[in-house]
Structure 1
Amino acid sequence: MLKVILIGTGNISKFLFDVFISDPSVEMVQVVGRNEKALEHFSASTPVSNNFENLKEADVCIIAVNDNAIEEVSHRLNIKKGILVHTAGSISIEVLPKHLRRGVLYPLQTLSGIVPEKRREIPICVEAIQQEDYEVLHQLARCISDRVERIDSEQRKQLHLAAVFANNFSNHMYFLASEICKDHEVPFDLLRPLIRESCNKIMNFSPYEVQTGPARRGDVNILEEHLNMLNNKKLKEVYTTLSESIQETYGKKL
């Protein structure tokens, strides 16, 4: 049985806690965080504390705090044994104290509102300095998901960057589309079947194969018409930049 400590009380910590507390191969020995109110989520079934220097012994201590606090928090912890792990996509394993056994356990997913039956599909990216530590973290990651990948810090940073394009930027495009609809009293709901179908295609084909639209076709008249319809300078820049990128990808020019 793996003994685990969680440092932090946010979404990732709650997600991992809810997974581990129900797994017979994991023993949650402690949750540590600054926010006493947030600690109430964990206190019914696990010892909690706001003292970062007084930790119980565990096989794995997982830091699940804001990215910019990982290095500071990691150097405050008094760890005598076990592996110290963070969960961030864009932070190197090297920020963790070098005298400790170190690792990374990065869930590549937006965890707020994740439905339990989808949990096993979440890619878990694992990194460790020592092979024996990787094997421990791989075992722990398999408690979360069926998809565990060995990814080093540089690969993980690039994967996180790609995720920003695929998820955060695409969602912002949906927002901009909703604003255009709102400004012209058109229901955004009419776009949902199109969005759903596009997402479904990506699950089975490469993004390169499924690209459509006037920029892909090289339809200069429609591109110019759309630009004339946009009164917002920023939207014009976004539309132009994306259209140029699509045309460059497929060997066409505006």
Structure 2
Amino acid sequence: MIKISIIGSGNVAQHLIQAFAKSTQVTVVQVLARNRSAIAQLIEASKIISDYKLLVKADLYIIAVSDDAIAAVSEQLPFKNEYVVHTSGSIPLEALSDNNRKGVFYPLQTFTKGKEVNFRTIPLCLESQFIYDYDLLKRVGNAISDKLYTIGSEQRKALHVAAVFVNNFTNHMYSIAAAICEENRISFDIMKPLLQETAEKALLLSPEAAQTGPAIRHDQTTIEQHLSFLEVPLQREIYQLITKSIQDNNGTKL
């Protein structure tokens, strides 16, 4: 049985705790958490600690904290030459302290408190400072996911940027659409079949092949009507910028 300690209590830490709890190959021996209440329902109270000095021996220590805290947290670990990984998409492996052997265990997914995910379908991007540690990282990954990828820090940075476009920016477009619907007394539910079909087409076809709408048709009459309708300056600016990007990308790469 592989012994794991998790440092952190946020969304990623919570989902990892739940994923590992379903595995017969891995056990979480401790969770070091500032916010004890956030994970109180996920793991036995005896396994939750708040003092670095209480960390016991484990095969792998997973730092699942905010990006700007990773380096500082890794420096506080009270041991040397253990295997320590972080879960960030944008922070390089080198940010971890040199006191320990380094790695990255990055789940490429969006995590929201209270929203369960199927970890077996989530891509896990793995990176290890030393080849001899990579086998352990693979075994831990296989314990919860069927999709493992060897991804270096530079590739992971690109993945994270791409993921922001796919997830964060797309979701913001949904928020703008929801606001427009609400302002005009329309339920956003009417948009849900369109939202689902758009995502399914992007998965079935390439995103470029799935593109439709007035921008790619260069339907300037409709575009001008939409711009006249939008009263919020920032919404107009976003509409114009994305319209230009779609038209510039029509048949070419961004």
Task: Identify the residue that residue 85 of structure 2 maps to in structure 1.
Answer: 85
Residue deviations 1:183-237, cap 9 Å, x none? 1122221111111111111121110000000001111111111111111111110
Q: Does 1:17 align with 2:17?
A: yes
Task: Identify the residue that residue 229 of structure 1 maps to in structure 2.
Answer: 229
Q: 1:206–1:57: structure 2 CA closer, same or farther, 3 Å change rule? A: same
Q: How far apart, CA to CA, are the structure 2 residues paired with 1:189 and 1:35?
A: 36
- The one-letter code of the counterpart of 1:173 is M
Residue deviations 1:3-55, cap 9 Å, x none? 11111112211211122233221122211112233352355275221111332
1:106·1:124 contact (CA, 8 Å) conserved in 2?
Answer: yes
Q: Percent identity?
A: 41
- The one-letter code of the counterpart of 1:104 is V
Q: How far apart, CA to CA, are the structure 2 residues paired with 1:189 and 1:75?
A: 48
Task: Identify the residue that residue 187 of structure 2 maps to in structure 1.
Answer: 187
2:104·2:126 contact (CA, 8 Å) conserved in 1?
Answer: yes
Task: Identify the residue that residue 216 of structure 1 maps to in structure 2.
Answer: 216
Residue deviations 1:86-143, cap 9 Å, x none? 0011111111012311001011111334545x32110000000111111110110111
Q: Does 1:139 align with 2:139?
A: yes
Q: How far apart, CA to CA, are the structure 2 residues paired with 1:52 and 1:236?
A: 50
Structure 1 runs (4+) greater than 4 angstroms displaced: none
Task: Identify the residue that residue 54 of structure 2 maps to in structure 1.
Answer: 54
Residue deviations 1:150-205, cap 9 Å, x none? 11111111111111111111111011111111111222211111111111111211
1:67·1:88 contact (CA, 8 Å) conserved in 2?
Answer: yes
1:53·1:76 contact (CA, 8 Å) conserved in 2?
Answer: no
2:75·2:99 contact (CA, 8 Å) conserved in 1?
Answer: no
> Number of aligned pairs?
251
Task: Identify the residue that residue 67 of structure 1 maps to in structure 2.
Answer: 67
1:105-116 equivalence runs, <5 A: 105-112=105-112, 113-115=114-116
Q: Which TM-score applies when normalising by structure 1?
A: 0.93
Task: Identify the residue that residue 243 of structure 1 maps to in structure 2.
Answer: 243
Q: How far apart, CA to CA, are the structure 1 residues paired with 2:40 and 2:171?
A: 33
Q: 1:162–1:218: structure 2 CA closer, same or farther, 3 Å change rule? A: same
DSSP 3-state at the match of 1:203: helix
Q: 1:221–1:38: structure 2 CA closer, same or farther, 3 Å change rule? A: closer
- Compute the RMSD of aligned alpha carbons: 1.7
Q: How far apart, CA to CA, are the structure 1 residues paired with 2:36 and 2:45?
A: 15
Residue deviations 1:63-95, cap 9 Å, x none? 111111111111001124531010011111111
Q: How far apart, CA to CA, are the structure 2 residues paired with 1:21 and 1:223?
A: 51
Q: How far apart, CA to CA, are the structure 1 residues paired with 2:48 and 2:185?
A: 51
- Greater alpha carbon shift after TM alignment, 209-218 vs 53-62: 53-62
Q: How far apart, CA to CA, are the structure 2 residues paired with 1:174 and 1:22?
A: 33
1:28·1:46 contact (CA, 8 Å) conserved in 2?
Answer: no
2:79·2:99 contact (CA, 8 Å) conserved in 1?
Answer: no
Task: Identify the residue that residue 198 of structure 2 maps to in structure 1.
Answer: 198
Query: Which structure 2 residue ranges, 5 or more long, are not aligned?
Result: none
DSSP 3-state at the match of 1:41: coil
Task: Identify the residue that residue 8 of structure 2 maps to in structure 1.
Answer: 8
2:30·2:47 contact (CA, 8 Å) conserved in 1?
Answer: yes
Query: Which structure 1 residue ranges, 5 or more long, are not aligned?
Result: none
